[in-house]
């Protein structure tokens, strides 16, 4: 007899926001460092960071839009 286990499947969905690092220098490029999704009960967010910035600057969460997924969000402003 073989036992099979069901692994929970994670639904893949677009994040609600993208996380950017904005260096504290004039005209410095923004770097996308991750994304965030709301938690099921709506009380907060789950962050997934691809990298952690080093240096002086700000971390900014902007609403996810398909067009800004890979580009600098300030470039279109």
- Whether residue 3 is contained in a domain is answered as no
Buried residues in 42-75 as b, exposed as e (16+ CB within 10 A)? eeeeeeeeeeebeeebeeebeeeeeebeeeebee
Task: Give domain status of residue 37, yes or no.
Answer: yes
For residue 3, count other CB atoms closer than 10 A to its CB: 4
25-65 residue pLDDT tens? 999 999 999 999 999 999 999 999 999 999 999 999 999 98
Q: What is the pLDDT of residue 4?
A: 57
Say what the pTM is: 0.70
For residues 12-21, give the mean pLDDT.
Answer: 92
Q: Is residue 28 part of a domain?
A: yes
- In this structure, are residues 21 and 53 in contact, taking their beta carbons and an 8 Å threshold? yes
Range of the domain at 63: 17-68
Specify if 43 maps to a domain: yes
Is 21 among the domain residues?
Answer: yes
With 50 as the cut, is the pLDDT of residue 77 above it?
A: no
In the chain, how many domains are there? 1
- Note the pLDDT of residue 76: 47
- The residues facing 5 across adjacent strands are none
């Amino acid at each position: 007899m073989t036992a099979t286990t069901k692994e929970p499947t994670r639904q893949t969905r677009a994040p609600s926001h993208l996380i950017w690092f904005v260096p504290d220098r004039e005209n410095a490029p923004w770097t996308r460092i991750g994304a965030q999704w709301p938690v099921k009960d709506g009380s907060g967010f789950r962050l997934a960071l691809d990298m952690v910035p080093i240096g002086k600057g700000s971390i900014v969460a902007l609403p996810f839009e398909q067009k800004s997924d890979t580009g600098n969000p300030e470039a279109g402003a």
